[in-house]
Structures are given as C-alpha cells and as structure tokens.
A and B are shown apart, each in its own frame.
Chain A
C-alpha cells in the first residue's frame, strides 16, 4: 500500500507546487512589475484596443505598410507557418509570381527583400526588414501624399537594431510605422 501511496502523494504535491503555485506566483509578480508586457503589449486609443504591438495585423489599405504574408491569415487564435518545402518546384513558381508583383509595384527595386516574398515562422511576424519597409515607400507615398523623404526618415527612426548590438537582426515594427502614418494623415 505504501508503495502506491507514496508516488501518488508525490505526484499530487508536485502538481500543486509546479502546476499551481509556480505559475500563479509568477503571474502575480509579473502583473505588478511589468503590467504592459504581461498583458500582451496592447495598443490602445481611448477605450478601444487596436491590437498588440507584437502581433502582425491584416492590412489591405494602400496607405499603410503591409506586414509579411501570413499563413495564419493574421489570426492569433491559429498561428501557423507556411511549411513550404523551399526546394520544390511549386514553391519556385509561387515565388516567381510574388517577385513579379513586387517588381510591378516598385520598378526601382533591384533585389527583392526576402521577407517580402516569404512566409514568416509564426504567421504573425510584426516586423519587416528595413529594406522590406523601404521597398513599400513609393506606393504608400502615392496613396497618402506623404513625401517619400518623410516616409524614409520615419522608417529609419522606427528601425530597431540588434539586441545589445549583437543578437537578432535589424527590424522595423509595422504596427508602429502604421500608427505614425495614421497620425500623419490626420
């Protein structure tokens, strides 16, 4: 009997310690110390929540920057990568179409930034590479009337470098860019 009761009690005690006490205590501390991040880095305007700074949004308007293509259709309740096999012929054909679209939209484009034609890992990537954002400027300038130079300096000032100058890659948050554009339009 003791042979059965001891492992059973051990399981239950650890369940309580690791499964209940630990996550709840951590939540308590996090909510007090970092409330903004702990609740999902939400963007708000007045009382409306406009989304999370860290989550890409679906954008159709030609006046705004477009985030990377999303296999999750920008739905955070079903994050998904493309899971394409990059060496396959179908993938090559798809990429060809996308590259041609970008060339048409921006004839000045030399090499197409990779992030514009590839799917992200999460389907919710909120960032573009600096080049990926710059490539969209001519179209946005035409649609909004904001001079290209203004948009270029907006992208440059919004771009974040690597963490501590070392880790990750330079990137620019599309939500942040679009919030600035909406302010400029008003």
Chain B
C-alpha cells in the first residue's frame, strides 16, 4: 500500500505539470494576455502606488539592483518586527522581543526562502511577527526566486540586454499565482483541521484531569504559502509533523502537491519559453531520475528500519520521529520532496531517520538542483547544464553553444563561482564548528551522527532548504550568525552570477543550428548532465558524507552480526 500511495502521488504531480507550466508562461509574458483583464486592475493600482510603469524594462544590472534593494528593505523591516514584537500588537500570548542574533538569523532565513528556524514558533513569535516577518517574506522570497529565474530565461532567448521588469515579475507571481492558490489551499487545510484564528492559546482541563495550554494561530494561511512557495518554516516547532499543521493523510497529500507544483511546472515552462519543449523535458528527465533514486533509497531504508531493534520484537520499520496517521511511506516521500524542492518543512524528524534514510535529504541539498525551490532549483539545474555543455564541448572539440549562443570564458567563470560557493559555505563553516569545544557542545548525539547534525545544518542553510537534524542546538550566537551568513551567501551569490550570465548571453548573436551543433535536448545529453551533477557533487561532498551517515550506516550493519 505504501508504494501505491507514493505512485499515485507522483502521478498527480505529473498531471499538474503541463497546465500549470503553460499558465506560468502566460503570467510572465511580456505581451498582453487575457490574464491582464482579470488581474490588471489590481496590479495597475499597485504599480501606481509603487511608482513604476508596467512596460518599463530593465537590463541585468538594473534588474539585480532592484532585486537586492527590495530584498534589503524587506530584510530590515522583518528584523525590526522581530526585535520589537514584544511592544507591537497582535500578540495574544504576550511573547517578548527576539534577541538580535536570532532575529538576524530568522530574517536572513525567511528573506532567502530558507526557513531555517532556531526558534519554535509556538513560544517565540507573536502573531504579528508570524504575519509580517514570516508569511510576508514567504510570498516575496518565492516571488523573487521566480522573477530571477524568468529573467534568466529571458536572457537566454533574448536579443538584447532586456530581462523584463523585476517589480512586475515579482508582483505578477504574487497576484496571479501565489495569493489565489494560497487562499484556496488554506481553506482546504482548515477543512482538514488546521486552525486559522486570531485568538490566542486556549486553556484546557484534559480528559485525565490535567492542565494543558493549546497554542493556535493563523496556521492555515501560513501552511499554504509555506508549501506553494517552497518555504518550509513551521508555525509550530515540529513543523508539518504537528497535528495542527498536517492533520490527515489528505492534508499531507496537499502539502506534497503544493511543494512540487511550481518547481516541476517551471521546468516545463522553461521548455515552452525557449520554444524547445524537448529541452525542457530533457532537464525534467534528468531531475526526475535523481529524484526517483533518492526516493527509493529513503523509502527502502525506512521500511527496513534498524535490524537490531526488530530482533527485540518490535514491528519492522522505523517509526521513531514519525506520526501514526502519516506512516512510513508518506514520511519518506515527504522527506524526499521537501529536500528536492528545497522546502525544508518536515513531517517526520529527519534526525531520527535511519543513517541511509538521513543521507538522502543531505545529498539532495548538496546537489541542490533536483527540481529545487522557486526558480532557484531551475537556475542551479541550468548552471549544471551550462557546465555540461562546456565539458562535452571540450571533449568533442566543438565550440560549446546553448540555444545557439556561444558559452565562453566569462559565462563559465561565473557559473563556476556560483557552483563552488555552495560547497565552500557548507564545508568551511562545518569545519570551523567542529573545531571548537564551545560549538561542538550544541551537538546532541555523539559520533558520526553528531557530525551529520552540523553538516546538515550548514548544508540546509547553503541550499536555502531549512530542514534540520533538530537535535542540534542551533540557537547560539555562533550558529545564528554563521548560518545566517551562509544562507545569505547561498542565495544571493548565485543569483548575482546568474543574472550576470543572463546579461552576457542576452547580448550574443544566435548561431543557426548546423550539423556541427552539439544537441542538448537528447536523452544522451540528459545522461551526461546526470553524470556531471553526480561527479561534481560526489567529488565535493563524499569525504564529509563518508565520515557522517555512511560511517554510521556501516556501524549499523556491523551491529547486526554482533
């Protein structure tokens, strides 16, 4: 039954890819479409409030500047709200201000679409903070990722340095995609049992005569955008494992569909926008292949469980850190999806996954391009694609070209920076954190598993994922600040490089397809792409993985024969 529910879920995801992808192309079209009639009025009102013209276009530098400045202002507003929440309204549970280091971490986390949380929402955030410092950036960070991805595609197919208008792209993705879908999904989640109220915690006398304080809030409106925007932070500390966030098998399905909906359709939309659907499907195929291998690994590992425990007479399968109503299959699927789509929400505790099961989310975040979050995943996929074109171009002695545009030194340098920054900001801070007793003290489990805790934290930050091996006490100044910086670098360095590549490609002449052109839309090239992704990923991260989850798995297997 477990495999059937997984298969059905994947099938439903596939059903949405084409219609949603086509819709996206219309949303971001620079020409007038029928959608303008529906949303145009509201949008024009907002444009005039902001003070921009819809048809004003931007070159890559202007686009980048607008993106960075807007994100900067939002970051500042969020930081202030968090620090001052104790003095602000909508605080029915009387929660005090957040310390500055944690506020920095939280603001960095949500502006970068990471949603790493070193706090627990039910006891550290006022309702106003949840609205203004969490829900608000959940929309805008997803919209920013989308905008940059669309701008990049425009660069790829453009004839001049015209990437569109950042404000228009961001606003349209919010008004035409995120808000309508979020409202519908939120209401469905309420129907399933997710609370949505401004009233504070409620005091109860339980069935066994004990006191219990039940925290509530605007949970449903938070959950819908959290997954549609592949954000992933939880209203509550235990995220989508919490019965108020994810009360039924059906709510779990909706969560998974929401996470996968936009990242998968964006790849299809990419194919439509470059007028080469095969190219889109080629990329889709490569991503899916890695996804399926990951999914199989974690599902099998969790169903198998820990052999030593079964010999005690416990039912087979690892239920530690999992919820009964969801079970092993839904948990394994959720784990694969949340790290593939770089959402970072969890419906089971990743720390308590089996060693091989726990390696899957780590590996997916290290590769960082298996569909990936709003826009960013596609961008990382395209980075690897450019690199693969370059490598195979060198191998066969042809000038590397993509969509008829020459890939030259400048583009490769920028792509290399964007790709190398990822391991750099994972491995260096992990090494630093492991070097000092004061930072090692945050680790909750010993040995290889402890190393995985720290490695997971920085990988999650760098990949802008946000999930955690939650045993690690990350609420210290060191982790708050270091992970905060890692998240910001992980997000903006690659975005800057990509927009620069887009600007450079946009100016290039398109060479006609000839017999000498290296085809990039074939299954063969899909294979090359997968190999390049795995070779680069494995070479970079294998030593760290060997010391963490792999060492742990080997000792688990030895335990059997003991």
Chain A residue at minimum C-beta to C-beta distance from B314 = A112
A79 pairs with B238, CB closer than 8 A? yes
A57 to chain B: which residues have CB within 8 Å? Answer: 206-208, 210, 212
* Residue B520 CB within 8 A of the other chain: no
B241 pairs with A120, CB closer than 8 A? yes
A40 pairs with B198, CB closer than 8 A? no
Chain B residue at minimum C-beta to C-beta distance from A56 = B243
Most buried by B among A75, A114, A121: A121
B197 to chain A: which residues have CB within 8 Å? Answer: 27, 30-31, 38-40
Proximity string of chain B (107-118) to chain A, C-beta cutoff 8 Å, 1 when within and 0 when not: 000000000000
* Residue A101 CB within 8 A of the other chain: no
Proximity string of chain B (378-413) to chain A, C-beta cutoff 8 Å, 1 when within and 0 when not: 000000000000000000000000000000000000
The secondary structure that dominates the A interface is: mixed
B196 pairs with A58, CB closer than 8 A? no
Q: Interface range on chain B: under 10, 10 to 19, 20 to 34, or 35 or more?
A: 35 or more
A118 to chain B: which residues have CB within 8 Å? Answer: 319-322
Most buried by B among A80, A85, A96: A85
B49 to chain A: which residues have CB within 8 Å? Answer: 9, 13
For chain A residues 123-154, which have a beta carbon within 8 Å of chain B? 123-129, 131-132
B250 pairs with A167, CB closer than 8 A? yes
State in angstroms the CA–CA spacing of A26 and B219 once bound together. Answer: 10
* Residue B187 CB within 8 A of the other chain: yes
* Residue B221 CB within 8 A of the other chain: yes
**Least Cβ–Cβ distance between B102 and chain A, in angstroms:** 17
B215 pairs with A76, CB closer than 8 A? yes
B190 to chain A: which residues have CB within 8 Å? Answer: 30, 33-34, 37-38
A168 pairs with B326, CB closer than 8 A? yes
Query: Assuming the A-B contacts A22-B182, A22-B183, A171-B324, are A7 and B215 also in contact, with contact meaning beta carbons closer than 8 angstroms in the complex?
Result: no
B136 pairs with A14, CB closer than 8 A? yes
Most buried by A among B123, B349, B555: B349
Contacting residue for B66 out of A7, A64, A75, A113, CB 8 A: A7
* Residue A87 CB within 8 A of the other chain: yes
* Residue B531 CB within 8 A of the other chain: no
- Among the listed stretches B24-32, B70-78, B537-545, which one makes contact with chain A, having 4 or more residues with CB under 8 Å of it? B70-78
B207 to chain A: which residues have CB within 8 Å? Answer: 43, 50-51, 57, 59, 64, 175, 178-179, 182
State in angstroms the CA–CA spacing of A182 and B205 once bound together. Answer: 14
State in angstroms the CA–CA spacing of A29 and B148 once bound together. Answer: 33
Proximity string of chain B (297-324) to chain A, C-beta cutoff 8 Å, 1 when within and 0 when not: 0000000011011001111111111111
* Residue B289 CB within 8 A of the other chain: no
Chain B residue at minimum C-beta to C-beta distance from A182 = B207
B198 to chain A: which residues have CB within 8 Å? Answer: 24, 27
A121 pairs with B322, CB closer than 8 A? yes
For chain B residues 338-365, which have a beta carbon within 8 Å of chain A? 346-349, 351-355
B206 pairs with A169, CB closer than 8 A? no
For chain B residues 229-257, which have a beta carbon within 8 Å of chain A? 236-238, 241-244, 247-250, 252-253
Query: Assuming the A-B contacts A26-B221, A111-B315, A121-B322, are A50 and B206 also in contact, with contact meaning beta carbons closer than 8 angstroms in the complex?
Result: yes
Most buried by A among B70, B131, B221, B323: B323
B135 pairs with A37, CB closer than 8 A? no
B208 to chain A: which residues have CB within 8 Å? Answer: 57-61, 64, 178
* Residue B1 CB within 8 A of the other chain: yes
Proximity string of chain A (45-57) to chain B, C-beta cutoff 8 Å, 1 when within and 0 when not: 0001111111111
* Residue B122 CB within 8 A of the other chain: yes
Chain A residue at minimum C-beta to C-beta distance from B237 = A79
Residues of B in contact with A (beta carbons under 8 Å apart): 1, 4-5, 8-9, 46, 49-52, 65-66, 69-70, 72-74, 77, 120, 122-123, 131-132, 135-136, 138-140, 167, 170-171, 174, 179, 182-183, 186-187, 190-199, 201-208, 210, 212-216, 218, 220-222, 225, 236-238, 241-244, 247-250, 252-253, 305-306, 308-309, 312-331, 346-349, 351-355, 444-447, 449, 469-471, 552-553, 555-556, 559
Q: List 7 A-B contacts (CB under 8 A).
A: A7-B73, A13-B50, A59-B206, A99-B314, A168-B330, A169-B324, A178-B208
